[in-house]
């Protein structure tokens, strides 16, 4: 498992992996927003939590099709399916590698980019907490979507259509945590809901991803 994780981390940080791609897209979204809505600082401050969350979600979405694509192309996925490793573990490792190369950098970059959108100081830590709790769910859900579309031509578009509706609950509660934090309000309820969604996703979806992979590899 550790060797598989290290291999996926190396693939994710080179050869067009999600590390640089996600961060670059996140930066572009944040920089372009003021040009679209105007430079008024109060307006930017009000929409900053939602923009940062939407940008992080779309940045995670960019590299989802590569989670299983390289393994499918070189035949590694068939070897993993016939190895002693459980497919549930393989799916979990793939999701973890995606989060470490895409989700975690976004969590670390979000406070810095929040300054560009005039995010209040009170909203910095709630933003970090919400992204830290929410992005693992995005990676696990994305791994499930990648398992559904593995081997399909032009599966990236279908993957986006399948995954985006599943992202909505995480987006709602994650953005609500960041918004309430920026306004100085209590964040306990949406934070607990976000944590529950993430825990449920991590507990259940690796089994669904493994089942889908077994069907696709027959």
pTM of the prediction? 0.91
* % of residues, the chain, pLDDT over 70: 97
Query: What pLDDT was estimated at residue 15?
Result: 56
CA distance 107 to 132: 6
Tell me how far CA of residue 47 lies from CA of 33, 60, 102, 106, 148, in angstroms.
10, 20, 23, 18, 34
pLDDT digits (tens, 9 = 90+) for 147-173: 888 877 776 778 888 899 999 999 999
Which residues constitute the domain of residue 58?
2-216
Q: Is 78 within 8 Å of 43 (Cβ atoms)? A: no
| pLDDT above 60: residue 17 | no
The domain total for the chain is: 1
pLDDT digits (tens, 9 = 90+) for 49-75: 999 999 999 999 888 888 887 778 777
């Amino acid at each position: 498992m550790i060797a598989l994780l290290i291999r996926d981390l190396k693939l994710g940080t080179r050869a067009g992996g999600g590390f640089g791609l996600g961060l670059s897209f996140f930066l572009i979204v944040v920089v372009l927003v003021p040009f679209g809505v105007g430079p008024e600082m109060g307006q930017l401050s009000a929409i900053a939590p939602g923009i940062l969350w939407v940008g992080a979600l779309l940045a995670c979405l960019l590299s989802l099709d590569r989670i299983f694509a390289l393994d499918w192309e070189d035949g590694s996925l068939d070897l993993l399916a016939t190895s002693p490793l459980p497919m549930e573990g393989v799916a979990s490792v793939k999701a973890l590698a995606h989060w470490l190369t895409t989700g975690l950098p976004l969590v670390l970059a979000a406070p810095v980019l929040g300054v560009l959108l005039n995010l209040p100081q009170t909203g910095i830590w709630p933003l970090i907490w919400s992204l830290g709790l929410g992005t693992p769910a995005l990676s696990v859900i994305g791994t499930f979507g990648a398992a559904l579309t593995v081997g399909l031509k032009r599966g990236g578009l279908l993957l986006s259509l399948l995954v985006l509706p599943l992202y909505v609950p995480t987006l709602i509660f994650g953005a609500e945590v960041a918004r309430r934090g920026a306004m100085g309000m209590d964040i306990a309820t949406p934070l607990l809901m976000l944590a529950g969604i993430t825990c449920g996703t991590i507990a259940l979806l690796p089994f669904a991803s493994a089942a889908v992979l077994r069907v696709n590899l027959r």
